[in-house]
Structure 1
């Protein structure tokens, strides 16, 4: 199953984003570009938080336009992990199955299996405050794993982590993506994250999202917008629109 954005035009105030692209099934895609260029908006289109004024978001040829965000085949991971502090790790993961947390024995067993799969077996009773940043990230990944949605969107999910822990989380995410066959779109401001995780890259700049291209080719011969973002273009300074509110999180968009 492939993800496609066909003839998309989205408008947020005076900002316009256009996209006409297709992502191969099971691809790991880094979404890159200057701050404020519309990377988060691109994810919001797929998730259903932003409605295009024209065009379609397609999954396996099916138009996702009529579907609300909760009914789309999508899971989202944010930088703050979206964990509820008053709930245990197991309960936070269980939300991926039942928002009312009325879990059957089979559900509870699935939650524990998901926690074990991310290295947190036996820690389901701990609340987020009793977990390290990396462990909180693993809880969020376990919830994504349990939901078993075929599209995974990450909006700077590991940006606040140190290099070693970030590398560990990216490795775990790669393994989860490989095991599940999920299609992953990851917004990142870190070229090294893109190199470590992705096999394809989408460049968002000048109000346009590019077709996915091999990540190695993009870095070996970057287009002007990517070269500017990398500090290799004229002046070495990225260009983009002022930061706007992110439709995904309500925070200022860093994409």
Structure 2
């Protein structure tokens, strides 16, 4: 499981102190106001931000000494972060080898992953030839093909229309049930994921204010704060 205990980060205008536990195999939806520290939490887990104190472990392994590339986590950003000059297959292949010198088996794995996210036949298409939803599927495939057991999704579907956003969330849920992965996903529409997530964490002012089952969080005393955070996102 992922265990974060009193991980503190400070800047001149912001301070964060995170404590959160996410069981293995769970999908944890991270909600909260803009600027409240959701993305910082994911960046800290990925290694892009280093806490001044506290502990961060996954499956019993201390992650803090590890560089981002050495951590068991793959991250998908809101803007998908694809290389425009590379094909869909090549962008996914980067999740296996940055050199893109793939073996026959690895190329087959890339094709299988594109098929798994509903992009069979898109191997040679470049990002500019795909819709926003298709580009996010490529980014998701790249994260999953890496084989890393911890997937971090930072508002990956916020630019999509409600129906497509819901489809992508259901796709993530389907894929994680077929593969042994733990997922943290920041999202500003908690209603889209309430029936899918195992866990929901409300993050505000740089802290995990509360964490638990989505139904419990959304009907708790935090409900007015959550409603305000969603309306201001």
Report the TM-score, using the length of structure 2 for normalisation.
0.94
Task: Return the alpha-carbon distance in structure 2 between the equivalents of residues 74 and 146 of structure 1.
Answer: 12
Q: Which of the residues 216, 225, 230 maps onto 2:227?
A: 230
| 1:45 corresponds to | 44
Task: Return the alpha-carbon distance in structure 2 between the equivalents of residues 9 and 202 of structure 1.
Answer: 17
Structure 1 stretch 133-142 or stretch 153-162: which is displaced more?
133-142
Alignment of 1:1-255 (within 5 A): 2-223=1-222, 226-231=223-228
Task: Give the RMSD, CA atoms, in angstroms.
Answer: 1.8
- 8 Å CA contact 1:23–1:212 kept in 2: the answer is no
Q: How far 1:20 moved relative to its partner?
A: 2.0
Q: How far 1:12 moved relative to its partner?
A: 2.5
Q: How far 1:193 moved relative to its partner?
A: 2.4
- 8 Å CA contact 2:28–2:200 kept in 1: the answer is yes
Give a deviation string over 1:70-128, Cα, whole Å, max 9, x none. 11000111111111110001100100011011111111111111111112112201111
Structure 1 stretch 211-220 or stretch 170-179: which is displaced more?
211-220
- 8 Å CA contact 2:82–2:127 kept in 1: the answer is yes
Q: Identify unmatched segments of 5+ residues in structure 1.
A: 239-253
Task: Return the alpha-carbon distance in structure 1 between the equivalents of residues 181 and 154 of structure 2.
Answer: 16
Structure 1 stretch 192-201 or stretch 46-55: which is displaced more?
192-201
Runs of at least 4 residues off by over 4 Å: none
Q: How far 1:211 moved relative to its partner?
A: 4.9
| 1:244 corresponds to | none
- 8 Å CA contact 2:26–2:182 kept in 1: the answer is yes
Task: Return the alpha-carbon distance in structure 2 between the equivalents of residues 207 and 102 of structure 1.
Answer: 41
- 8 Å CA contact 2:4–2:21 kept in 1: the answer is yes
Q: Secondary structure at the match of 1:123?
A: coil
Structure 1 stretch 128-137 or stretch 194-203: which is displaced more?
194-203
Task: Return the alpha-carbon distance in structure 2 between the equivalents of residues 194 and 173 of structure 1.
Answer: 11
How many residues are treated as equivalent by the alignment? 233
Task: Return the alpha-carbon distance in structure 2 between the equivalents of residues 21 and 228 of structure 1.
Answer: 20
- 8 Å CA contact 1:37–1:205 kept in 2: the answer is yes
Task: Return the alpha-carbon distance in structure 2 between the equivalents of residues 101 and 47 of structure 1.
Answer: 23
Distance change in 2, residues 1:111/1:56 (3 Å): same
Q: How far 1:134 moved relative to its partner?
A: 1.5
- 8 Å CA contact 2:203–2:210 kept in 1: the answer is no
Task: Return the alpha-carbon distance in structure 1 between the equivalents of residues 221 and 101 of structure 2.
Answer: 50
